[in-house]
Amino acid sequence: MKKPGILVFVLTALGVTNETHSGHEIPIYPSYYPQEIRIESVDPVSAAGLLLEAKIHAYVGDEIAFEKAIPESIGYVESLGSFIVLSLNPASPLATGEKSACTITRTIVSALANAKDRFFFHPYPVNPFHADYLHYFDLADAAKQTYLHGSVAAPSPQLKVRAKGKIASELVRTRWPTQVSAWDATVEQIAAGDLVASHMFNVNGWLGPPWVKEGWFHAYLLLAGTLSQPSTRHRADLNLRRLQTGDYNGMVEKINIERELLSLLTRNCRRVIVGYTAKKEYFNSDYSAGIENIAFDSHAGFNSPIFIRTVKLKDLPWNGWLRLGTNATPSSAWNPMAGFIDNAGRLIWFTLGDPALFPAPYNASWVLNRIGDVQSTLGK
Q: What is the pLDDT of residues 102-156, one digit of tens each?
A: 999 999 999 998 887 689 999 999 999 999 999 999 999 999 998 887 655 555 5
Residue 12 above 70 pLDDT?
no
Helix residue ranges, H only, 174-327: 192-197, 215-223, 230-245, 250-265, 305-308
The reported pLDDT for the residue numbered 339 is: 60
Let me know the angle formed at the C-alpha of 274 by 131 and 61, rounded to the nearest 5 degrees: 65
- Between CA 292 and CA 355 the distance in angstroms is 23
Residue 85's DSSP bridge partners are 188, 273
Amino acid (1-letter code) at residue 103: T
Contact between residue 290 and residue 299 where contact means Cβ atoms under 8 Å apart:
no
Q: What percent of the chain has pLDDT over 70?
A: 81
- Between CA 186 and CA 177 the distance in angstroms is 12
Q: What percent of the chain has pLDDT over 90?
A: 45
The reported pLDDT for the residue numbered 24 is: 46
Residue 317 above 70 pLDDT?
no
b/e map 315-354, b = 16+ CB within 10 Å: eeeeebebbbbbbbeeeeeeeeeebbbbbbbbbbbbbebe
Residue 285 above 70 pLDDT?
yes
H or E element that contains 13: helix 4-14
- Between CA 118 and CA 57 the distance in angstroms is 26
Residue 65 above 60 pLDDT?
yes
The reported pLDDT for the residue numbered 286 is: 92
Q: What is the mean pLDDT of residues 262-290?
A: 94
Residue 10 above 50 pLDDT?
no
Residue 193 above 50 pLDDT?
yes
Look at residue 27 and give its three-state secondary structure: coil
Residue 194 above 90 pLDDT?
no
Mean confidence (pLDDT) of the chain: 82
Q: How confident is the model at residue 203 (pLDDT cuts 50, 70, 90)?
A: low
Contact between residue 270 and residue 90 where contact means Cβ atoms under 8 Å apart:
yes
171, HSE (Cβ side, Cα atoms, 13 Å) = 32
Q: Which distant-in-sequence residues (6+ apart) come within 8 Å of 66 by Cβ?
A: 48, 52, 74
